[in-house]
Structure 1
Amino acid sequence: MLLSNCRLADGRTGMHVLVRGERVAAILDAPVPDPEVVDLGGALLLPALTDFHLHLDKSLFGLPWMPHAAGPDRMSRIETDARVLPGLPVEPRATAMLRRCLAAGSVHFRSHVDITPAFGLRNLEGVLAVKAAHAGMCHIQTVAFPQAGVMRAPGTLALLEEALRQGAEVLGGLDPCEVDRDPKGQLDAIFGLAGRHGVGLDIHLHEAGELGLFSIAEICARTRALGMQGQVWVSHGFALGAAPEGKLMAAAADMAGAGVGLVSHGAGAAPLPPLLRLAEAGVPVALGNDNMRDTWGPYGTGDMLERAAIIGWRLDARTDAAMERVFGWVVESGARAMGVEVPAVAVGGVASFVSVAAEGVAEAVAQHAKRGLVVFRGRVAWHPENHCLDSAPAGSVRNSVCVRSVERHGQARALVKRWPNRTAN
């Protein structure tokens, strides 16, 4: 496949990216004959995106609009989940969400999946089915997430262990102090289970103030003691957003030393951790959309460039360099944590891309610009005309209404409708 007439992030225009198999074979100033040529019409070609925190099983996408019914607190939302979702099949809802995310350029996902006595393993089974159905279009890593707590919900530990046996790749946790009211019990249990199964941890931590800082310290201590550096992430970490300077930097040093990362979605109702400062202190940082159009809240589109813009705005990231740093958090950090090779528009790089109607990375973030073609490991995963291409190899696009191979001047070429390069999203 030849991706023709591309703009590159370094400012070069009119470039041609030749893909062979799953990798970039060449970046050329002039086109070469190829059976499949996709003309990007001058669009910016960027590495495909990573959503490092979402909940595919909670999605209400694909259903009629459902007014928000949960109360303002976490437990009310958990109870609403348990009341509303059991009667709704997981696969259609998760698929509808996933395809929105694909259309926006994300191809790597870490999805938390509720494992509770009320749901058992049905949500995991549904998400694993969606993962299998989209294996040629994206990478999905699943987290066995105890949404109802661990110690307060008898039977949950056994369910979490069975979830790991059935295919969950990471173990979750949730507010060991506020939800379980037994931080030692929960953390000892989940770290022990993770150690026995050789998996990492991703712990939801909404706890504020001293309570949240205490939980972070306990997580870091266990991570170091068990040699799990680089395998443990804290999702949210709201306590870091309002911590006094001394305690903030002490927590940052603790996390950096233990190799504990922080995932943020830029929650609107909570203090945002100072992500740029934390990253400078050595804390791994990644971003995710978290809840999108579900019983927890109506907002969210699946667009990680939009998410990067929200977080960049809240961080007051105004310079191109700062916005490029935020962009790195939606491409590199989460992919590395999942053991996925980071895509790159470079010779030898993994050919996972998204085309964007922007002149550079900073504009793509600031304007969360219109997306076009999405490629996953050398295969077209999303086409703006034909939508999801069901794992079709790039070469099979020739049968679509948008692409047909013709012989012209002795070269195999393709006629492809161009995506507008400067159209607002």
Structure 2
Amino acid sequence: MKIDNNQLLRFTTAGSVDDGKSTLIGRLLYDSKSIFEDQIEAIANTSKKKGFDGIDLALFTDGLRDEREQGITIDVAYRYFTTPKRKFIIADTPGHIQYTRNMVTGASTANVAIILIDARHGVIEQTKRHAFIASLLHIPHVIVCINKMDLVGYKEENFNKITKEFEEFSSKMLTKDFRFIPISALHGDNVVNRSENMPWYLGAPLLHTLETLHISSDINKVDARFPVQTVLRPQREGFYDYRAYAGRLASGILRIGDKVTIMPSGFTSTIKGIEGPSGKLEEAIAPLSISIELTDDIDVSRGDMIVRSNNMPEAAQDIEVMLCWLGDADARPRAKYTIMHTSNEQKAMIKEVVYKIDINTLGRKSDEKELQMNDICKVKIRTTKPLMIDSYRENRNTGSIILIDDSTNETVAAGMIV
């Protein structure tokens, strides 16, 4: 299969504390020669000051001062690199259980999730939580890197035991493409180059796997959804009668002459003109930022959605959502939150917790109704005004929401509409 050299692959790393995520990314960057000499020199000097004999690879991603002082990753650190075969964006997320919300952030746009497992400890609760979140977010590919193989003597039986345990757990998940690679990020085994210490492993190293994975677009090209962000009404000579609606085309294709409906009002019109960053267009394909002119003067405002009249989303105030609770504080019963959905912002209330997920068994706990940090659950939400929704499975952009606590302005939950 031919790989597009310009194709961008977004991947996230996740795992428990000290599983070696930042070291793995540092090894990827260092061995693939994706780091400038001055950066290497600066990191080498910092490593020397910290008492390392060689280069501390984790410092290539742990860029915040607090992270370096504590020796942990406390935020989502993004890095960009390119090989002759592909371009990459890496989201390195923290491992502490209280920062699982950062993993949700880093994984929300990923094509691939890399989950690290310490070869000494095997599959633990945080491993299961990260794997389930990756599945919940419909990440199509998961690469399980069993790290620190050097600390278990590079033994094949350790690798096989952990692989079997993970496969038994993941059999209930939506994601079906799981790949397993035994590595030592510290020494570089099976990261960029094949390991001489594990001749029993016949698969490809991690970088080769990332370079050759088939990545299909995660943008829905069928259902045209244009959330309006702002109304353009320039008051200058030649533009007094001009009115256009600007935003980012969330999914699908819109063309001049398309019959469209404005939701939730239900008014209909026809697309008169489309303009993109480079000028006038005959058609626009998601995710392009555009402005649209209609043939009729209709009341359209921010939060409305322009869709093709023969293909409309559901307008709903009662919504069922798979929710990841991210807030430090517990959810308050029937408390009001602000819900953000595309460009639409409304007040909302969690009406009911249908069930919570037991992360160890993936079973449902219907008797528990309190929501605490890192809980994953199915809830019913009611909004003050209709949202124009699709299921997350069909459309990531119009199928996702976040909840914001009005008193703290903190994002307390991320959800996928079912």
- TM, length-normalised to structure 1: 0.31
Q: More strand by proportion, 1 or 2?
A: 2
Q: Mark the structure with the bigger radius of gyration.
A: 2
More helix by share: 1
Q: Please, what TM-score do these two structures have when normalized by structure 2? A: 0.32
Where relative contact order (Cα < 8 A, 6+ residues apart) is larger, the structure is 1
